[in-house]
């Protein structure tokens, strides 16, 4: 993703959300995946977006932009949340690295409660154990054989749980016999729960 595009999305997402407070609730309840395509299309095609025009002089320092893209792994909703927190904490029209750095804990807490918690609440106890085991193996992709071994279970006995978690949109098959989480940072969230 080009830096200019990331900056534009970063600032536009924040200011657009400030004008549409109710949109944030839609995301939390229904999931960003359902809204992202039309949402990005709408903000990209609306040149008369007044809140964004008001913030047209907003800037983000290159070091801050690099840090936020790296820490969010470029995931749009995470960029959006961090943009909101960083902008609220910024003292001027430029978001600095210090603003990003100081916003880390607050952003993480918001994501934990408003994004990751909503996802984990969809799972049964055995499914939670499955994803906890995945995250305990480090960062993905995860070999199903390693997950089964760590859970002291056979591959075939984990098939129904695997299928259910995939159907719930939490994990996906990256290749034959391998899984990963559908959103970045989810393994980190699971490890923070221990």
Residue 126: band (very low, low, confident or very high) from pLDDT cuts 50, 70, 90 = very high
Whole-structure pTM value:
0.68
**What is residue 26's DSSP assignment?**
H
Mean pLDDT of 45-51: 35
Residue 34, judged by CB atoms within 10 A of its CB (0-12, 13-18, 19+), counts as exposed
Residue range 70-94, pLDDT digits in tens? 888 888 888 888 878 888 888 877 8
* Residue 33: pLDDT over 70: no
pLDDT, average across residues 176-187: 93
For the record, the structure tokens of 57 come out as 């002089």
Domain positions in the chain are: 3-120, 125-192
- From 50, 41, 45, select the one nearest 16 (Cα to Cα): 50
Is the pLDDT higher at 132 or at 52?
A: 132
Is domain 125-192 given the CATH code 1.10.10.10 in the classification? yes
Rama region for 183: left / alpha / beta (φ>0; ψ in -120 to 50; rest):
beta
**Dist CA 57 CA 118 (whole Å):** 35
| pLDDT for position 122 | 92
Task: Say which range, 80-89, 128-137, 178-187, has the weakest mean pLDDT.
Answer: 80-89
Q: In 8-71, which ranges are E strands? A: 59-60
Q: Identify the pLDDT of residue 9.
A: 53
Quick one: pLDDT at residue 37? 36
Residues 192 and 194: their CA atoms lie apart, in Å, by: 6
State yes or no: cis peptide before 141, omega within 30 of 0: yes
The whole-angstrom separation of Cα 170 and Cα 5 is 28
Assigned token pair, 161: 């749980």
The tokens describing 130, both together, are 């499955």
Check whether 152 has a pLDDT greater than 80.
Answer: yes
Question: How confident is the model at residue 60, as a pLDDT?
Answer: 77
pLDDT top residue among 17 and 29:
17
Residue 172 has pLDDT above 90, yes or no: yes
User: Is residue 22's pLDDT more than 60?
Assistant: no
- Determine how β-strand 142-143 pairs with β-strand 178-181: antiparallel
């Amino acid at each position: 993703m080009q830096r200019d595009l990331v900056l534009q999305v970063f600032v536009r997402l924040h200011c657009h959300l400030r004008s549409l407070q109710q949109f944030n609730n839609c995301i939390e309840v229904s999931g960003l995946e359902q809204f992202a395509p039309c949402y990005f299309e709408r903000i990209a095609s609306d040149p008369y977006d007044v809140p964004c025009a008001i913030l047209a002089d907003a800037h983000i320092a290159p070091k801050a932009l690099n840090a936020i893209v790296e820490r969010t792994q470029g995931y749009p909703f995470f960029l959006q949340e961090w943009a909101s927190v960083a902008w609220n904490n910024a003292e001027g029209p430029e978001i600095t690295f210090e603003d990003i750095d100081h916003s880390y804990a607050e952003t993480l807490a918001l994501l934990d409660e408003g994004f990751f918690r909503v996802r984990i609440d969809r799972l049964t106890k055995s499914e939670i154990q499955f994803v906890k085991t995945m995250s305990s193996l480090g960062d993905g992709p995860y070999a199903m054989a390693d997950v089964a071994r760590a859970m002291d279970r056979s591959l075939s006995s984990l098939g129904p749980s695997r299928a259910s978690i995939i159907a719930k949109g939490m994990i996906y098959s990256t290749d034959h016999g391998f899984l990963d989480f559908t959103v970045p940072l989810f393994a980190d969230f699971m490890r923070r729960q221990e």
